[in-house]
Amino acid sequence: MEAIIDLITHPIFVWTVVILIASGILFWIVSYIVASWCVYTQTLQRRSKEQWGRELPKDIDPEQKPMYEAGLRWSEEHQEYKHDVHIVRDGLNLYGEYYDLGYDKCVMVLSGRTECLKYGYYFGIPYTKNGYNVLVLDPRAHGLSDGEFNTVGFEESRDIIKWVEFMMDTYGIKHFVFHGICIGAAGGILALTSGNCPDTVKAIVTEGMFANFGESVKNHLIERRKPVFIMLDLIDAWMKHYTGHTMKIGPINFIDKLNVPLLMIHSKEDLYSTPEYAEKLYDKAGSKFKRLVWFEHGRHSMLRIKDTDLYDTSITEFLAEISAEI
């Protein structure tokens, strides 16, 4: 027994144990830092023009493919109305397509993460049936637009305001509706509550809007059975480092300032922008006129393909209802 005590109290043994423990802790810390960097860059950093470009992704989700195809057919049928448009903000060239169908109103389709303007065609269709021209955009770091990082709505909101001003000055449009999907919805809300958005934006329609992007990332990690503890804070630290913004702030922090009509379209099966937070966003929204339409089934950002009639009818009824409000 004395020999064992002598052994475990010997300085060499003690320091060996300390070094092994410290090495284990250091390895754990480094592995989390590296893993969080990988998650952040894979999620929000564009590393080449091909990534998040205008070509149909080879690994496209089977449920998403018919959405793209229907949108592409619509675009091909309306080529005579198309105008390529371009602005510069924050030193970045940003590109879009404007389909001037001869109306005096315009829907701005604000696509989600990884999606270029071709994704937006599909969501513009119900608005054309209600007397709206269609503006689809390549967000920063998507499609033909410049940029390296998606900022989950922060810088995108300022880009959106610039687009509104451009459309007013160039095409004389005085009536806009935003249609935002996921991060696009966040950008639209942040633009409208910034105090700098022209009052020509009369309403916003959102699908799959998150409370803040951090909640969405957390739900992604849980779904994939990845550790949430510390990881979320590290991912957010990378975002602050690269963009100066935090994913812990989002629409939930600003939506009480919203003063235009709001239509929220949301799925009860949404794993990333959960129904619980959708209800919180709706309850907190400052809009005097607001509607929340639930889909019993449907994945995140894929509701129109699930029930096109309900989706389009909800938009048509909303636009008719707000016509007396604006």
| Residue 290 within a domain | yes
What pLDDT shows up at residue 12?
63
| Residue 318 within a domain | yes
Residues 92, 188: one domain? yes
Domain extent at residue 2:
1-43+218-246
| Residue 51 within a domain | no
CATH number at residue 274: 3.40.50.1820
pLDDT single digits (tens) 228-268: 778 999 999 999 999 999 999 999 999 999 999 999 999 99
Residues 109, 193: one domain? yes
Residues 174, 256: one domain? yes
Residues 120, 9: one domain? no
Residues 300, 232: one domain? no
Average pLDDT of the residues in 122-150 = 98
pLDDT single digits (tens) 36-94: 999 999 999 999 989 999 988 778 888 889 999 999 999 999 999 999 999 999 999 99
pLDDT at 7 over 50: no
| Residue 57 within a domain | no
What pLDDT shows up at residue 219?
87
- Distance CA(44)–CA(130), nearest Å, equals 35
Average pLDDT of the residues in 177-195 = 98
Residues 253, 240: one domain? no
| Residue 116 within a domain | yes
Residues 265, 183: one domain? yes
Average pLDDT of the residues in 25-36 = 78
Residues 94, 166: one domain? yes
Residues 226, 96: one domain? no
The total domain count for the chain is 2
Residues 72, 17: one domain? no
Residues 232, 307: one domain? no
Residues 242, 255: one domain? no
| Residue 48 within a domain | no
pLDDT at 125 over 60: yes
